[in-house]
Amino acid sequence: MKKLLEINNLVKHFPVVGGVFSRPIGWVRAVDDISFHIFEGETFGLVGESGSGKTTAGKTIIKLIEPTKGQIIFNGIDITKFGENKIRPLRREMQIIFQDPYGSLNPRMPIGEIIKEPLMVHNIGDKKEQEERVVEIMKLVGLRPEYLRRYPHEFSGGQRQRIGIARAVVLNPKFIVADEPVSALDASIQAQVLNLLLELQQKLALTYLLVAHNLAVVRHVSDRIGVMYLGKLVEVAETKELFKNPLHPYTQALLSAIPIPDPEIKKERILLQGDIPSPINPPSGCRFRTRCRYAKDICKESEPPLVDVGSGHYVACHFVKEGKVVEYSK
Ligand code: SF4
């Protein structure tokens, strides 16, 4: 399978400024040395609690935010150091769907204009062709073309997300970062929007990075999943494998929180103690150690690398070797 995207040792730190001269007095280590790849045509789910760095990772990958270090290879081209002029033509191929459809749509523009805007920015087609394309895309995402002169506030949350999706796909991109695309929607609407994303993936040969805080949301649409904790990737595996055989204690805790709709099946709920620590001053060694029920001295002293334990299942924990947990003593 061809890799559409390759991320090597990606780092994004933000300065924390203070004092009378507003000088940097520290760094928020939002994304701290992550590497993974996404195959053409697949959906890669990136999951973690709020503050894990997943959204920053998504925005950095498509260069909405400049990386601090590392390498981003898109479709065989190293785009890490591309400035605005060089990245602009590639923006046609890399789009984003935002979490808050209402906040991301200009309330003073009719939705036909909102969807048409990317075509105008990239100078694609004449006026008539642009209008035809808008109608075509509205039909494709399940919006009635006669609504094109209506404004965003006249639509429901689910319809607004369809407008956001229409704007993202109107340029016929290859790759889309979907940043929490359903977390602002009612549960009943979430499935419809996720199904629409799947349908569009088939029809338009799209590749997705799906960012979400909820493993249950990414489960049914992702081919592979990466779990992030405090700026680090702690586990990457195919979706089925991750749910059947979660190896990292953090993934195990996240999975234990997903309800099973069967009263006969009882499972242990692993409660994570406390909040995620500050990314300004993360714990030494394994960043998860302050909340891990298996932590030992070595976890404080050395950082576990993300290693392949077999069949593309990667884990960053000192006590996971060759697909098994060894030496845990409770
Ligand atoms: Fe827990 Fe240690 Fe493994 Fe980190 S390395 S997840 S602290 S057991």
Token pair recorded at residue 187: 């549960």
Residue of 41, 92, 62, 95 lying closest to 204 (CA atoms): 41
The answer to whether 150 touches 160, Cβ cutoff 8 Å, is no
In this predicted model, what pLDDT tens digit does every residue of 180-219 receive, in sequence order?
999 888 888 999 999 999 999 999 999 999 999 989 889 9
Domain boundaries, the chain: 3-93+173-325
Residue of 143, 140, 117, 258 lying closest to 201 (CA atoms): 140
Give 100: exposed, middle or buried? Use CB within 10 Å, 0-12, 13-18, 19+. middle
Residue 240 Cα to ligand 1 middle (Å): 23
Q: Specify the ligand 1 atom closest to the Cα of 296.
A: 2
Residue 280: CB atoms within 10 A of its CB come to 14
**DSSP for 38-85?**
EETT-EEEEE--TTSSHHHHHHHHTTSS--SEEEEEETTEE-TT--HH
pLDDT value, residue 17: 87
Residue 330 Cα to ligand 1 middle (Å): 12
The answer to whether 320 touches 248, Cβ cutoff 8 Å, is yes
Q: How far apart are CA 69 and CA 162, in angstroms?
A: 35
Say which CATH architecture domain 3-93+173-325 belongs to: 3-Layer(aba) Sandwich (3.40)
HEC-encoded secondary structure of 277-326: CCCCCCCCCCCCHHHCCCCCHHHHHCCCCCEECCCCCEECCCCEECCEEC
Q: How far apart are CA 213 and CA 186, in angstroms?
A: 15
Q: Specify the ligand 1 atom closest to the Cα of 292.
A: 1
Token pair recorded at residue 34: 């992550």
Contacts 24+ apart (CB under 8 A), 225-228: 225/44, 225/45, 225/46, 225/47, 226/36, 226/44, 226/45, 226/46, 226/47, 227/47, 227/48, 227/251, 227/254, 228/34, 228/46, 228/47, 228/48, 228/52, 228/53, 228/54, 228/57
Amino acid identity of 23?
R
Distance of CA 117 to the CA centre of its chain: 24
pLDDT value, residue 171: 96
Residue 70 Cα to ligand 1 middle (Å): 25
The pocket around ligand 1, CB under 6 angstroms, is made up of 248-249, 286, 288-289, 292, 294-295, 299, 304, 317-319
Token pair recorded at residue 195: 């199904």
Residue of 201, 214, 140, 134 lying closest to 173 (CA atoms): 201
Residue of 112, 107, 185, 99 lying closest to 145 (CA atoms): 112
Question: Sheet containing 77-78: which strands, arranged edge to edge?
Answer: 23-39, 3-18, 69-74, 77-78
pLDDT value, residue 124: 95
Query: 46-78: b or e for each residue (b if 16 or more CB lie within 10 Å)?
Result: bbbeebbbbbbbbbbbbbebebbebebbbbeee
Q: Specify the ligand 1 atom closest to the Cα of 248.
A: 6
Residue of 26, 10, 34, 12 lying closest to 232 (CA atoms): 34
Q: Specify the ligand 1 atom closest to the Cα of 298.
A: 2
pTM of the entire predicted model: 0.93
Residue 172 Cα to ligand 1 middle (Å): 43
- If you search the block for the tokens 């006026």, which residue do you land on? 127
Query: Which residues in the chain come in under a pLDDT of 70?
Result: 260-266, 323, 327-330
pLDDT value, residue 261: 66
Bin 301: left if φ > 0, else alpha if -120 < ψ < 50, else beta: alpha
